[in-house]
Amino acid sequence: MERISWNQYFMAQSTLLAMRSTCERLKVGATIVREKRIIAGGYNGSISGGVHCHDEGCYVIDGHCVRTVHAEMNALLQCSKFGVATKDSEMYVTHFPCLQCCKAIIQSGIKKVYYAQDYKNHPYALELFDQAGVQTELVLLEDRYDLTSKHTNDTR
């Protein structure tokens, strides 16, 4: 029996997390890993106890839903909340991070970002990742491990 690779395993975890998303526009999941161990996970959704997009619709300003906290930020904030260091860790995310998440990832000390799908890859995010020495790598999730629908409605 063939074992699932580490990249496929952690990316599948991120797709599983994306299934918890309450955003109607795009479901995103993120997993933070250090030394082949999951230290945090997140998905895009409203603040704890808040109104969710799937309940009342997205709250869109300038083309972005401001109701949701992005998956990457939720994973990073989980580490902060529980005192878990992110320095020299890696992040697996279902979609390429937005510019704001890119900056948070850099500041948190994450050294590599694996993503399963390109998504409006901002040129400045790519420049910042390069400048900070954060590696990025596209990891196509094999169909047999993809737990989410390929359908998305729009943008985060």
Instruction: Name the residues annotated as catalytic.
Output: 72
Contact of 11 with 41, CB cutoff 8 Å: no
Cα end-to-end span (Å), the chain:
39
Q: Quick check: 37 and 79 in contact, CB under 8 A?
A: no
Dihedral angle at the C-alpha atoms of 22, 6, 128, 23, nearest 10 degrees? Answer: -10
Specify the amino acid at residue 2. E
Determine which helix (DSSP H) or strand (DSSP E) holds 38, and give its type and residue range: strand 37-43
**What is the distance of C-alpha 7 from the center of its chain?**
14
What gap in Å lies between CA 97 and CA 42, rounded to an integer? Answer: 13
